[in-house]
Structure 1
Amino acid sequence: MDKFYRIQPIYEERIWGGQKIREKFHYQTDLQNIAEAYHVIAIPGHLDNLVEGENIPLSQFYQQHRDLFDCDADALPVRLVTACADGKLSVHLHPTDAYGLAHDQMRGKIEGGFALTDSDAEVEFMIGHTAQSMEELKSKVENGEWDTLLRKVKGKATDFTHTPIGTLHAESGDGSVIMVAYSTNGDVTYRLYDYDRNDPKRPLNIQGVLDNIRIPDDEIRPYPVTPYQSKGCLIYDYYSKPKEYVGKRIKTTPNARYQQEEFMFILCLEGETAINGMKIKPGETLFVPAHSSELIFDQAADLCILSYLD
């Protein structure tokens, strides 16, 4: 029988954090809020999940068990986070890996995500900007012309948004919605604007933004994903690109089946099920090694799948 592994989450509070993650997943913590729950991250000395039963961090587990992942990346290449905002996040971007490593000893990240909601309402996304040149960008930044600089586009609340390296973006919320974010395994953020909060723990890095920003950047839009049925699973293929990340969502029925050759991290969002006999409930994450046998889900559940292609 294939062996699966439980991954312990890491919680972080933020000035903009809400309570929805704590309430939904019944996490126990003394933090004032859980702005972000890191379900899969492996950055030594920074944020590094514990692998239950092995009692080692995920980054070390990856190095010691490369056969279970069967990919060429020199470190675990992907990460998975849920976030809940009760307020405004900064306007920010993520740098290239080369730039992040040279300046902050950590990789940037390519990411994408969706809101955990059944609402089909029209919402506003802040992604990209309106400047057509570096000169125009600098002028708007220096003059604080944020309303005309920041690009706002309409989409459905359930749309998926992919955010490439160097893409200016921001989110805000009222604490009622959880966001699910798949990404490459980095954690460098450069802030351009933080709504004049002047928090020393949240410094701006305007030069880092200018060195990495995409110009122009006025084409990215959120997009809907139409699910399809397979073996009792309703499958959403959100994003898949080699060397970046694979993000899926699967809603299972009792005795549903699913299989893929690549390794998987499975985060339970809703419902309790057993996967080949191993139970999982909301907020829990399992690691399924590459080339595992077909997965059988004994009950209905809503699950995220994070994976990777060489």
Structure 2
Amino acid sequence: MEQVTLYPLKFEPIYQYRIWGGRRLENLLSKPLPPKDPIGEAWILSDRDDQPSKITDGKLKGKTIKWLMENAPEKLMGKFANKFKRFPLLLKFLDCQQVLSVQVHPSDQLTKYIPAGESGKTEAWVVLETGNKAIIYAGLKPGTTEQKLRDKLKEHKVADELAHFRPENGDSVLIKAGTVHTLGDVVVFEVQENSDVTYRLYDWDRVDEKTGKPRDLQVEEALACIDFNKIDIKPVTPIIKSEIPVQREVMIQNEHFDLCRIIGGLPFMVGKATVPHVLVCVDGKGDLEYNSDFYSLKKGDVMLLPASVGACPFVPKGEITLLELALPESS
């Protein structure tokens, strides 16, 4: 194993064509979008075998997060080095120009519906931009049963059984595995378990212009994975933990990830010794200081702070809004 010295790491976004995507990620990320195609996702931190994120700066430029997990697991993951074979979170920005398919992800317990090497998928969104038709469907309406859903599928009226709300900028929404969900006309940040298991229940009868065909549905698998007790999901109310020198809010906490939001213009600390943290800048810019060097972070950037880096001061250049992600230490 190589002797690898780690530092604050930035990654290149990986753009994904999606039938429901648009062009609004141009307003968030500096890397040009592929021409013409609707781009629905930017994978900003991905340890997937087929599309691993690449480091953009420093001595490790061009190396992937997969390479880091294989060659410097203790320095990268600290106390979690023996727990995870790949980085356990997948981070994205989504441009949902149209409404996504109505879908569900299995829980970790439903092993029958999880391919080898994958896990269940709990995820969360932070709303960054809303359009005139912005909508989030999250959970079922009270009283919805499997038979009601089957009947609505035949009538092409599945939305009749879905709870929904109009999102506002800054909302955070937790979508636990087993929750029926979809969203449209929004730009969001998404954090999820590092899994790619999605079952489509309904896709609004649309046709993919590239193939001339509807996308595949997995109705039976989706119905089997739905938790019918997950109803009428609303945005999570943030908990303010401190207001000096900046406002720190706990947005989401569960067994898979902790998500906090930092808002302010004065210097503050980020990261922690012995565990990795991830910073995602959603507005403004600033510099992180580590070993007398400065690492810039601006709107749309993601920065991974390896466990070996520990806590660092962050100096905003004006007002900044920063998301900070951590793995729960009780996990």
TM over 0.5: yes
CA shift, 1:183, in A, is 1.2
1:57 aligns with 2:64: yes
- In terms of mean alpha carbon deviation, does 225-234 or 16-25 score higher? 225-234
What CA distance in whole angstroms lies between the structure 2 residues aligned with 1:207 and 1:144?
Answer: 16
Aligned to 2:124: 112
Distance in structure 2 (CA, Å) of the matches to 1:256 and 1:168: 38
Give matches, 1:185-200, under 5 Å. 185-199=194-208, 200=213
Partner of 2:155: 143
TM-score normalised over the length of structure 1 = 0.86
Which of 74, 83, 105 matches 2:85?
A: 74
Shift of 1:213: 0.8
Deviation (angstroms), 1:82: 0.9
Write out aligned runs for 1:250-261 (5 A).
250-261=262-273
- Partners of 1:137 and 1:251 in 2: how far apart? 42
Closer/same/farther in 2, CA of residues 209 and 2 from structure 1, 3 Å limit: closer
Tell whether the 8 Å contact from 2:269 to 2:313 is kept in structure 1 after alignment.
yes
SS of the residue aligned with 1:89?
Answer: coil
Label 1:157 to 1:284 Cα distance change in 2 as closer, same or farther (>3 A).
closer
Identity %: 21
Does 2:285 match 1:281?
no
Residues 188-267 of structure 1: matches in 2 within 5 Å?
188-199=197-208, 200=213, 202-229=215-242, 231-242=244-255, 244-261=256-273, 262-267=275-280
Tell me the TM-score normalised to structure 2 length: 0.81
Tell me the residue number matched to 2:41.
Answer: 36
Q: In structure 1, what is the Cα distance between the partners aligned to 2:41 and 2:122?
A: 17
Aligned AA (1:183):
Q
The equivalent residue for 2:7 is 3
Cα distance, 1:186–1:270 mapped onto 2, change above 3 Å = same
Q: Is the Cα–Cα contact under 8 Å of residues 158 and 224 in structure 1 kept in the other structure?
A: no
* Residue 268 to residue 201, structure 1, CA distance change in 2 (3 Å): farther
C-alpha displacement at 1:40, in angstroms? Answer: 1.2
Task: Note the C-alpha offset of 1:231.
Answer: 4.9
After TM superposition, give the deviation of residue 81 of structure 1 in Å.
Answer: 0.9
Q: Following TM superposition, by how much is the alpha carbon of 1:302 offset from its aligned partner in structure 2, in angstroms?
A: 1.8
| Superposed displacement of residue 2, structure 1 | 7.1
Q: Which residue of 1 aligns with 2:285?
A: 272
Q: Which shifted more, 24-33 or 69-78?
A: 24-33
State the SS of the aligned residue for 1:275: strand
User: Structure 2: which 5+ runs fail to align?
Assistant: none
Q: Which amino acid aligns with 2:171?
A: D
**Alpha-carbon shift at residue 167 of structure 1 (Å):** 0.8
Aligned residue pair count: 303
Q: Helix, strand or coil for the counterpart of 2:98?
A: strand
Compared CA separation, residues 186 and 201, structure 1 to 2 (3 A):
farther
Give 1:218's aligned amino acid: I
Q: 1:295 to 1:168 in 2, by over 3 A?
A: same
Q: What displacement does 1:226 show?
A: 4.1
What is the Cα-based RMSD across aligned positions, in Å? 2.8
**TM-aligned CA deviation for residue 203 of structure 1:** 1.2
Letter matched to residue 103 of structure 2:
H
Amino acid at match of 2:304: F
Q: Structure 1 residues 297-306 or 127-136, which shifts more? A: 127-136
Structure 1 stretch displaced more, 67-76 or 258-267: 258-267
- Cα gap change, 1:282/1:159 in structure 2, threshold over 3 Å: closer, same or farther? closer
Which of 23, 26, 30 is the aligned partner of 2:30? 26
Match of 1:290 in 2: 307
1:198/1:50 CA distance change after superposition, 3 Å: same
From the superposition, tell whether residues 78 and 201 of structure 1 become closer, same or farther in structure 2 (CA, over 3 Å). farther
Shift of 1:230: 5.1
